[in-house]
């Protein structure tokens, strides 16, 4: 829990108002390192076989944060094409879910499951830190 120092009720109300006004940016700052943790876990779990899935690992990227009805989202996507001209998003989809002609090799969901709790804890810790900074620097 963030430790906040205040002197007087007027200052406290001002601090809370300013904190509320900057909350979207604060949440994005708090989510960013956790998103980094998740994408690194996915990359580490991405198969990398010469000629088959080469390039897929490096094609993973975070998309710009967006605010949808107060919820802050980002996504991990696979961008671009491999050296043979095959789209990386399609390759990731086929690996993750399989098809009637290819066995599946789930690598995204297991990676996310593995770091989910750590990422949530990191968001909470970062958000507390940011709130503490903002409230104590005003």
Partner 1 sequence: MNELETALTATGLQFAHFGWSKAPAGDYGVYAEDGANDLIAGNAHTERIIEGTVDYFTRDADLAAKALIEAALNGCGAAWYLNSVQFEDNTGFIHLEWVFQVMG
| Alpha-carbon separation of residue 42 from 36, 125, 133 (angstroms) | 10, 22, 31
Closest to partner 1 by CB, 116 or 129: 116
48 binds partner 1 (CB under 8 A): no
CA atoms within 13 A on the CB side of 68: 6
What gap in Å lies between CA 40 and CA 2, rounded to an integer?
Answer: 28
The answer to the question of residue 80 lying near partner 1 (CB under 8 A) is no
Residue choice 17, 48, 67, 97 for contact with partner 1 (CB under 8 A): 97
Instruction: 128-131: list long-range contacts, CB under 8 Å, 24+ apart.
Output: 128/1, 128/2, 129/2, 130/26, 130/29, 130/30, 131/2, 131/4, 131/19, 131/26
Q: Binding mask 5-44 vs partner 1 (x if CB under 8 A, - otherwise)?
A: ----------------------------------------
104 binds partner 1 (CB under 8 A): yes
Q: Of 17 and 113, which CB lies nearer to partner 1 in the complex structure?
A: 113
Q: Is the distance from CB of 101 to CB of 23 less than 8 angstroms?
A: no
Give the one residue of 17, 113, 136, 138 binding partner 1; rule: CB under 8 A.
113
Site for partner 1 in 56-75 (CB under 8 A): none
Residues that bind partner 1 (CB under 8 A): 93, 97-101, 103-104, 106, 109-110, 113
């Amino acid at each position: 829990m963030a430790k906040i120092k205040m002197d007087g009720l007027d200052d406290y109300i001002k601090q809370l108002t300013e904190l509320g006004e900057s909350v979207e940016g604060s949440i994005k700052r708090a989510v960013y390192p956790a998103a980094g943790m998740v994408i690194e876990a996915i990359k580490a779990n991405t198969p990398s076989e010469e000629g088959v899935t080469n390039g897929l690992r490096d094609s993973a990227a975070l998309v710009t944060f967006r605010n949808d009805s107060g919820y802050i989202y980002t996504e991990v996507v696979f961008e671009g094409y491999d050296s043979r001209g095959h789209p990386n998003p399609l390759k990731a989809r086929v690996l993750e879910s399989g098809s009637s002609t290819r066995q599946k090799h789930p690598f995204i969901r297991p990676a996310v499951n593995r770091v989910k709790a750590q990422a949530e804890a990191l968001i909470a810790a970062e958000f507390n830190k940011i709130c503490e900074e903002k409230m104590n620097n005003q």
